[in-house]
Structure formats: structure tokens, C-alpha cells
Amino acid sequence: MYRALFALMFLALPAHADGLGPKISGDARMGLVYDRAPDWAQQRENGLRMTARARLKFEFTGETDGGVRFGAAFRLDPDTQRPKSPSVFIGE
């Protein structure tokens, strides 16, 4: 798991470039969280715990001869509580 997260960070760093064509970007975080009191349903443990997240964003853009920009973007995010749908755009 940690090797994959480490590899994803190195893939996302040099891939951010301006211009047309495919772009890959992303972010990751890792740290410690301290929850003093559990939630009302007692479903989450209290105390110190480790947290980690990695997200990748793919964006594909193009431009016609007339100058109209088009493209699509989607994000790979394991967070199922706040899903974000893919987006498609024409023009800017």
C-alpha cells in the first residue's frame, strides 16, 4: 500500500504541464489524527490513529482549428462519501 502511494506521488509530480493534450495531476496526504470523543453512534474509535489519502486527476483537452477548446476530466478518489462526477466541457 505504501509503495503504491509513494509511486503515485512520483507519477503525479512531473506530469503537471500547461497546454493541450492529456494531463495527470494529483495530491496525497498522510498523518496522525486525534479524536477525543467518538461520534454519537460509537462507530469510530477515539484516540490517535493514522490517516492517508491519495487522489489522481486526469484531464484531456484539445482545440479545434477555429479555437474552440474541448475536453474531459475525471478524478480517481477512494472517498465514497463525497463522490465527484466526471466533467466534460466545450469552450471556456
pLDDT for 18-75, tens place per residue?
467 888 888 888 888 887 766 666 666 667 778 888 888 888 888 888 888 888 888 8
Beta-carbon neighbour count of residue 35 at 10 Å? 12
Q: Is residue 23 part of a domain?
A: yes
Q: Is residue 40 part of a domain?
A: no
Instruction: Supply the pTM of this predicted model.
Output: 0.49
Q: Is residue 49 part of a domain?
A: no
What's the confidence (pLDDT) of residue 57? 86
Range with lowest mean pLDDT among 4-13, 14-23, 46-55, 74-83: 4-13
What's the confidence (pLDDT) of residue 5? 52
C-alpha cell at 47: 484516540
Query: Domain range spanning residue 64?
Result: 2-27+55-90
What's the confidence (pLDDT) of residue 59? 86
Whether 59 and 71 have beta carbons less than 8 Å apart is answered as yes
Provide the domain count of the chain: 1
